[in-house]
Amino acid sequence: QLQLQESGPGLVKPSETLSLTCTVSGGSISSSSYYWGWIRQPPGKGLEWIGSIYYSGSTYHNPSLQSRLTLSVDTSKNQFSLKLGSVTDADTAVYYCASTHCSSASCYLYFDSWGQGTLVTVSS
Amino acid sequence: DIVMTQSPDSLAVSLGERATINCKSSQSVLYTSNNKNYLAWYQQKPGQPPKLLIYWASTRESGVPDRFSGSGSGTDFTLTISSLQAEDVAVYYCQQYYNDPYTFGQGTKLEIK
């Protein structure tokens, strides 16, 4: 059973870069069986997919965030990370990391394991 | 982008009664080559992350009670809870994974009447 845990600063200043890491246990981030993703939820609102990354570095980004977004994988630490630049208060949200389990042939981007989420507030 | 619209926004149902939540996509999420609908349902309880209930529109995730069922095809989908239990109070979301960006419905809040 995969377990995912987000970590990172809870407060980021406007125009700076939001950086979060997700640590994976119970499975290898280098496995071809998973895609790794980020989803966020502004307080009291719905869910927004941010992006997903494969162990090889192949990524999918939400076009609405693409110009500010960097996703990466660190296989040595069994972690994957998100960097979102030039943040504004609209980026205040609970950020979740999540996994997609892939079949032998393909990966389908629904999310079957989730971290508990971490609240990031953008404020000066 | 595919827009997912859920109805109703909120719903109050008596314990033991049926709850029905609808989800409509702005374009079909049925991939004709494999005849699969790229539609998932999640349950989110207060202070918790979403939990996957159903994928491929009607396949229950392992461990999900069989009172939860999904149906529909193309652009119109339904999540049904056959006999509402107290622990089912939550917000429910649909999600399409047919095309990126992968998008969610706005959520339906389910309460006890």
Task: Supply the pLDDT for residue B14.
Answer: 98
Task: Supply the pLDDT for residue A102.
Answer: 87
**Residue A7 confidence (pLDDT) above 80:** yes
Average pLDDT of span A6-32:
96
pLDDT 10s digits, A69-82: 999 999 999 999 99
Chain B: residue whose CA lies nearest to A116: B49
Average pLDDT of span A3-25:
98
Per residue, the 3-state secondary structure of chain A, as one string, reads CCEEEEECCCEECCCCCEEEEEEEECCCCCCCCEEEEEEEECCCCCCEEEEEEECCCCEEECCCCHHHEEEEEECCCCEEEEEECCCCHHHCEEEEEEEEECCCCCCCCCCCEECCCEEEEECC
CA distance A85 to chain B (A): 19
**Residue A104 confidence (pLDDT) above 80:** no
Task: Supply the pLDDT for residue B72.
Answer: 98
Task: Supply the pLDDT for residue B32.
Answer: 95
Residue to mutate among B10, B58, B100, B102, with most A CBs inside 10 A, is B102
Task: Supply the pLDDT for residue A106.
Answer: 85
**Residue A53 confidence (pLDDT) above 80:** yes
Q: Residue A37: CA atoms inside 13 Å, Cβ hemisphere, count?
A: 30
The phi, psi pair for B110, rounded to 5°, reads -105, 125
**Residues from A in contact with B at Cβ < 8 Å:** 39, 46-49, 60, 62-64, 96, 98, 108-112, 114-117
B51 inside 8 A of chain A by CB: yes
Task: Supply the pLDDT for residue A36.
Answer: 97
Output the CA angle B1-B7-B8, nearest 5 degrees.
145
**Residue A105 confidence (pLDDT) above 80:** no
Average pLDDT of span A18-27:
97
Scored b (16 or more CB within 10 A) or e, A76-109 reads eebbbbbebeebeeebbbbbbbbbbbbeeeebbb
Task: Supply the pLDDT for residue B53.
Answer: 98
**Low pLDDT (below 50) residues in chain B:** none
Using the Cα atoms of residue A90, residue A23, residue A99 and residue B11 in order, give the sign of their dihedral: negative
Per-chain mean pLDDT for chain B: 98
**Residue A103 confidence (pLDDT) above 90:** no
